[in-house]
Amino acid sequence: MSFVFQPPAPPAVAVVGRTERFPVHRIYCVGRNYAAHAREMGKDPEREAPFFFTKPADAIVENGARIPFPSRTSDLHHEIELVVAIGTGGANIGISQAMSHVFGYAVGLDLTRRDLQAEAKDKGRPWDTAKGFDRSAPITAITPAGDVKLDDSRIWLKVNGALRQQGAIADMIWNVAEIVAELSTLFELAPGDLIYTGTPAGVAAIKSNDALEGGVDGLETLKVTLA
C-alpha cells in the first residue's frame, strides 16, 4: 500500500517487564466517577449513570515528559486517574466476563482546559477542545493485570510536592468491570483501547513549570512537568 505522505508511527505505551509496546486504538474517559469529585463539580453522584468522552489516541504522553503548556487556556486542571488497558475486544460484554478483557493497568492524567470546558457546558457544546487537545493524556507504563491487585489501592497526586488529590480505587461509583461492560454497549471495544476511569476530589489549576507526581498503589508513579 502506498500513501501520499509517510504516516506517523502508531501511538503506543510501554509495558512493564516487556520489550513489546501496547498499541493504542482509542482513548475513552469516564466522567465524574468518584462521588466527592462529582460533588465538587456541582453534581449529584447518586442520580447520574456514567457518561463517556474521548481523547485522540495520539494525545498520550510518555512518563517523565516535559509538556508544553497548552494554548488558549488560563485554567488548566489536573485529574489523576486509573487507566484500564483493553486486551480483548467485544461488544455487549457482561459484567461477569468484563475482567477477562482487561490486559492491564496504568496511571494517567486527564489534563483539562477547564475554562473551555465551562464555556462548552454553558453553550451546550461538545468538550473536544477542553479534553481532547494535544498531549492531554500522560500515562505510565502498563502493568499486566495478573501482576497487580488494586482493590484496596490508594490514588493520589502531588503538585510541586504538595498533596492535591487523594482517594481510593474502591471509591469509584462504577468499578472496572461495570465500566467495561457499560462502555461495550456504546462502542465495540478493541484491543488497544485505553479507559481513563475518573478522578477523585481535589482537581485544581496548574501553571507553567509545575511538577506533577501521581500514582496508584501497585503501579508505576507518573511524573510530568509543564514547560
pLDDT tens sequence across 81-95: 999 999 999 999 999
Given a cut of 80, whether residue 163 has pLDDT beyond it is yes
Nearest to 102 by CA among 179, 171, 31, 172: 179
> What pLDDT does residue 151 have?
86
> Percentage of the chain with pLDDT > 90?
90
DSSP string, 128-154: HHHHSSTT-EEB-PBEEGGG---TT-E
pLDDT tens sequence across 144-156: 999 999 988 999 9
Collapsing DSSP to helix, strand or coil, 172 comes out as: strand
- Please report, in angstroms and rounded to a whole number, the separation of the first and last CA atoms in the chain: 39
Q: Would you tell me how many other CB atoms lie within 10 Å of the CB of residue 115?
A: 16
Q: What is the pTM of this model?
A: 0.95
The mean pLDDT value of the chain amounts to: 95
Q: Kindly list the structural domains of the chain, giving each domain's residue range(s) and its CATH number in brackets, ordered by start.
A: 12-226 (3.90.850.10)
Report the sign of the C-alpha dihedral through residues 75, 76, 81, 83, in that order.
positive
> What pLDDT does residue 44 have?
67
| CA distance linking residue 75 with residue 89, whole number of Å | 36
CB of 55 closer than 8 Å to CB of 29? yes
Torsions phi, psi for 171 (to 5 deg): -80, -10
* Core vs surface per residue 178-205: b (16+ CB within 10 A) or e: ebbbbbbeeeebeebbbbbbbbbbbbee
| CA distance linking residue 82 with residue 31, whole number of Å | 13
| CA distance linking residue 86 with residue 83, whole number of Å | 10
> What pLDDT does residue 45 have?
67
pLDDT tens sequence across 193-207: 999 999 999 999 999
CB of 46 closer than 8 Å to CB of 68? no
Given a cut of 70, whether residue 38 has pLDDT beyond it is no
